[in-house]
Structure 1
């Protein structure tokens, strides 16, 4: 069998593997790994060990120390188990395939069971179908096809199945990178099914501000301190700061749907909670702030600006106490381009059929745990995935399609396969 026929046979194996792909997704989606709280990671690592063992992967479980990830509000619970699964194919270089194993909570509004795979309307529904358990199924199908067709691999694939991308203080990939638990370049599947050259992304900082007053009867409020009213100067000050922050323009190229408008820093008053009933002066008011900051901004400056705004706004407040808690942080990603990108672009062209001329670099104000990987010394990060604008990631009825899973799987196979030449499929 020639190299071309061997490679094409492996691509066809993936097309024929739809039943197995769906079964893998079904089993993965049934394990609840939502964050918060994130207490399903160990069970998911057990499942992935079971699924990957027949392909002769070797496994290492690495847990993030409790002190690093436990948030002040207690929202994170359970052991932070990260699974490294390595297939030694005899290649000289490793390629680390990164997947986050957590999902956002199911939420309301589903027409289908969120923690199950439903095949309907030509789609694959379920929480994590696109973001990103479906990408794990795609990578598994690529390895199965390569082994079935005895296809030599250019890289040893290392699956990094990691915790706490959807939130939290210390993502698993950060700990693995800082502890030098893997080597070689990295391919992240936290992206989309688009012809994109990743130009980076913003950092994200979540702060909770807790304002404490004193409860009292609202009909006799003499001794009361209304925490909600005491926080009004803070709300106004943050809204003014929002206007200043969002004038700051990043040099990072913006996504196509921005239609030429630049990416800017962002500040969002994301959630509020306080009070219980009309007859009671509220003693406690909580405000969640999200700050998206560009690679051009230093974290220390962002942190100090927010704290200064809070301190000044509450200086004359009657509140008994004001607490500021950082409950989530993702570092920004600066230009992650490197020498492996041309091969990955060619592989995406082979799998999805993207014309070579359609690839464009752009960044985003959304965030990724890959910033911690860069800070640990790995600059080049490839990006792919299943995300599309309409597949309801983080919303009810999240879905992907079998066509996209197969296309991503073929792209992964092409990238890993030694028989694939970058001129093919362009």
Structure 2
């Protein structure tokens, strides 16, 4: 029986590579739906697509909407219903969650190809979210379909978690699912890289929206006392103060182990990420919005980091200023601590099966990038989280011309299939080997 099952698993591994081209229309459908955050308007359409793709695999899907009161900030960047899809296939086996954030960053200038259309050039797949992280959903579909086609028995009941607002949202969908007790088992998080990496945790991030308000008047009257305040000009001293703080923050460093490609220790960051204001040359600008992004190390506290930003802003406002100042929290991911647990050895072997890594290739490191799984750990529902994905330095994640490759999609799909298959490394399935 063991040999028979191994043959089925081997056949499924081959089927994954054969079926990539057949399934590209499904991948294209994912890329075509604009799920960029901000604002996050495409979540409902994406959940509809995924529900249709998963139904033939006998998944039962449920849409879980994050209440507006938890994420909506008046005048903030987010709008639209926050629809998360939880797809389950319950047979009584232990549950393994498979996590994906369905949002992407917005399209930025510099794209040559259509970012909302899958472009296939040789073995490269281009499109917004191709690597981060709709390509990982595509890889999962390939794995699950191959298992079904070849009759591979699974050790786990997969629970697909297709979640909202990881890219800087105030209340990520996975946080809400965790707080509502909707998670079980352990989780494979595909918001990582195609590298032999053992996750050591990561930084947190929060985004503050600074709104500076003046008073709109005719531009020809703007130089007269009492006729209005120029919000753009009034913002300049605040920006200068934030740039001074940016340099101070950049001097700090974290004890978190940096990636092997890093040129030094991981450091906190303060970034002026977006600015918008003004209307026309004939009008004194009445409002400016500035998005301030602060990545903070596990050794720092959110409260202290936010307080020093607010102190810098208020300290730069002249005492006689009539400008209005408002600071709103519009996004927050807390740091993720070392998520080590008993399932890692099996996932490491599965990654080696898919990508061809050797045991000595693996290293443990953290990152200044951030994850919504700090919120999951904070609930106490689970601490262990396994990490994988399609990211590579050359993938242009969060940049124009984002892409992944056929080879990496196939490798990740094979890793997922191996991990879920009951006959792959059965001695490393904690649920059946723990007495």
Under a length normalisation based on structure 1, what TM-score does the superposition of the two structures give?
Answer: 0.94
- Aligned ranges for residues 19-418 of structure 1 at < 5 Å? 19-91=21-93, 93-216=94-217, 217=219, 220-223=223-226, 224-259=228-263, 261-277=264-280, 280-314=283-317, 316=319, 318-377=321-380, 378-418=382-422
1:279 Cα offset (Å): 5.3
Partners of 2:426 and 2:220 in 1: CA distance: 72
- SS at 1:366 equivalent: strand
Per-residue deviation, 1:88: 2.4
- Structure 1 residues 18 and 245 mapped into 2: Cα distance closer, same or farther (>3 Å)? same
Deviation at residue 221 of structure 1 after TM alignment: 3.0
Q: What secondary structure is seen at the aligned counterpart in 1 of 2:304?
A: helix
Residues 423 and 181 of structure 1: CA distance in aligned 2, closer, same or farther (over 3 Å)? closer
Deviation at 1:398, TM superposition (A): 1.5
Contact persistence 2:76–2:330 (CA under 8 A)? no
CA shift digits 1:369-423 (9 cap, x unpaired): 1111111112111111111111122222221111111100000011111111189
Rounded Cα–Cα distance in structure 1 between residues aligned with 2:323 and 2:112: 46
List gaps (5 residues or longer) in structure 1: none
CA distance in 2, matches of 1:317, 1:135: 54
Give the direction of change, closer, same or farther, for the CA distance of 1:218–1:204 in structure 2 (3 Å limit).
farther
- Structure 2 unaligned regions, length at least 5: 429-435
The TM-score, its normalising length taken from structure 2, stands at 0.92
Partners in 2 of 1:308 and 1:283 — Cα distance?
Answer: 23
CA change 1:422–1:346 in 2 (3 A) is farther
Deviation sequence 1:261-293 (CA, Å, 0-9, x none): 101111112233344455544333332211100
Aligned partner (choices 418, 421, 426) of residue 425 of structure 2:
421
Tell me how far apart the structure 1 counterparts of residues 422 and 322 of structure 2 sit (CA, whole Å): 65
* Matched position secondary structure for 2:370: coil
Alpha-carbon distance, 1:125 to partner: 1.3
Change (3 A) 1:31 1:207: same
> 1:230·1:319 contact (CA, 8 Å) conserved in 2?
no
Are 1:5 and 2:11 counterparts?
no
* Cα shift at 1:359: 0.7
